[in-house]
Amino acid sequence: MRAVIFANGIIKHLPEPGAVIMPDDLLIAADGGMHHCQAIGITPSVVIGDFDSLDPDGLNKLQSSGVEIIRYPARKDQTDLELALELAVDRGADEILVFGALGARWDMSIANILLLTLPEFSGVKLKFIEENQEITLLRGGEEFILNGKKGDILSLTALDQEVKGVTLSGLEYPLKDSTLQLGSTRGISNVMVENTATVYLKKGLLLCVHTRIK
């Protein structure tokens, strides 16, 4: 099952519902992410969070219309997005798309990106989408097949002290069984020379950012 989550970050250009949402998707709004849903005319199945970004009247109307409301206290140990991700996994999602994970606050944006590294999401195909950019995480022993077009940019960032056995194909700068170091910019701004590129690594956590050239 696939879940689509709208978080409360900035979305400069909202997606067209028919282009990204399928009839069987589990739609979840993480607190103020509900505003994005309203802006594109969709109703989520669940709204979750501490609701510091939604007014009580609006919540009551949603609940009356059959939307499931899951409320958490403001003083909690997790962000609304982390709660939404956990909910999606608990309900059987093995693929999750997230819109609005990034925004004006760097602390929240960095924390949200690092959610990808949590062990409980290791069996889930999890992707953050921000306009023409897609962010995902690759773990040791996994292969990532990137479908795009020539000229698209792929940037790779190590999230472990060493990410070993990195092999790239279909890119201007291929690698074979290489090591990327934490803090190094060696993997930034590679360019696709084919419509498909492949990333494989043997050990570590590797953040992959695909920028589609319009």
CATH code of 49's domain:
3.40.50.10240
List, for residues 28-80, the tens digit of each pLDDT value: 999 999 999 999 999 999 999 998 888 787 788 888 888 999 999 988 899 99
Among candidate residues 116, 131, 146, the one where a domain is terminated: 131
Residues 52 and 15 in one domain: yes
Residues 144 and 176 in one domain: yes
Residues 96 and 127 in one domain: yes
Residues 152 and 87 in one domain: no
Among candidate residues 108, 131, 154, the one where a domain is terminated: 131
Q: Model-level pTM?
A: 0.93
Residues 127 and 142 in one domain: no
Residues 62 and 151 in one domain: no
Residues 182 and 127 in one domain: no
Residues 127 and 149 in one domain: no
Residues 167 and 106 in one domain: no
In this prediction, residue 62 carries a pLDDT of 85
Q: How many domains does the chain have?
A: 2
List, for residues 138-158, the tens digit of each pLDDT value: 999 999 999 999 999 999 999
Residues 151 and 84 in one domain: no
List, for residues 74-122, the tens digit of each pLDDT value: 888 999 999 999 999 999 999 999 999 998 889 999 999 999 999 999 9
Conformation bin of residue 104: beta by default, left when phi > 0, alpha when psi is -120 to 50: alpha
Among candidate residues 131, 152, 169, the one where a domain is terminated: 131
Residues 83 and 188 in one domain: no
Burial class (CB in 10 A: 0-12, 13-18, 19+), 62: buried
Range of the domain at 155: 138-211
Query: In sequence order, what DSSP letters do the residues of the chain get, joined into one string?
Result: -EEEEE-SS--SSPPPHHHH--TT-EEEEETTHHHHHHHTT---SEEEE--SSS-HHHHHHHHHTT-EEEE--SS-SS-HHHHHHHHHHHTT-SEEEEES---S-HHHHHHHHHGGG-GGGTTSEEEEEETTEEEEEEETT-EEEEE--TT-EEEEEE-SSEEEEEEEESBSS-EEEEEEETT--TTTTEEBSSSEEEEE-SBSEEEEEEE---
Residues 115 and 155 in one domain: no
| Domain of residue 160, CATH code | 2.60.120.320
